[in-house]
Amino acid sequence: MNVRAATLDDLFLLMEIAREAGPAAQWSVEQWRNIFRSQNPARLAWICETREAGPSGSAEWRAVGFLVAQASGPDWELENLGVLPEFRRRGAAIALISALLAAARAAGASRILLEVRASNQAAARLYEHTGFCRLARRPGYYSNPPEDALIYVHPF
C-alpha cells in the first residue's frame, strides 16, 4: 500500500471511490473542489494505492481509498474516509488513518475528532482499533436516512 497526497487532478478519482465505497459521505463536485481551495482551515486529502498487474502484465498503481481531513490548529477533524469494497480489511483504511495521525502529530495537533453513523459498526471498530475513543452520541445528526452520530476522539 502507498499513501500519497491527493491533488485537484485526482478530483474525479476521489468522487468515483466515494461513490463506490458506499458509507463515505457523498459530496458535490464543488464540495470536493473546496478541499483543494480551502486554506482556512486547511484541508488535507490522501489517496491509498495498491499495485496490481495491468493488462500488459506490468505492475500498475490503483487507487483504492481516500481520506479527507480538516487541520485547524490543535483540533483536527477526519471528515471523510472511503475504501473500495473489494479492498476493505486489507490495510488501506489503516494506512490512510496512519498518514493522518502522523501529519496531525507533526503539526502539533492536540486531538482529531470524527463523526460516524451509529449503524456503521465496521467503521467504529476501525476507529477504535486505530486509537480513537468514543466521546459522545449526537442524536439525529445524519439525514437520508435520519440517524444518530457517534463522536470519536483521538488525543495526542
Which CATH number is 138's domain given? 3.40.630.30
Task: Verify whether residue 152 is a known catalytic residue.
Answer: no
What band does 55 get if pLDDT is binned at 50, 70 and 90? confident
Residue of 60, 127, 141, 147 with catalytic role: 127
Q: Where are the beta strands (DSSP E) in the chain?
A: 2-5, 42-53, 59-72, 75-83, 111-117, 133-142, 147-155
Summarize the confidence of residues 23-29 as an average pLDDT: 83
Summarize the confidence of residues 65-94 as an average pLDDT: 95
Q: Which residue has the cell 491533488?
A: 7
* CB 74 within 8 Å of CB 55: no
What band does 56 get if pLDDT is binned at 50, 70 and 90? confident
Residue 129, amino acid = H
Q: Which residue, 2, 27, 7, 31, is CA-closest to 16?
A: 27
Residue of 16, 20, 30, 115 with catalytic role: 115
- CB count in 10 Å sphere of residue 13: 13
Q: Which residue, 58, 56, 127, 138, is CA-closest to 98?
A: 127
Tell me if the pTM is above 0.85.
yes
Task: Verify whether residue 142 is a known catalytic residue.
Answer: no
Cα dihedral 14, 24, 125, 84 sign: negative
The boundaries of the domain holding residue 18 are 2-155
Give the chain's domain count: 1
Cα–Cα distance for residue pair 96/63, rounded to 1 Å: 12
pLDDT at 144: 83
pLDDT at 54: 75
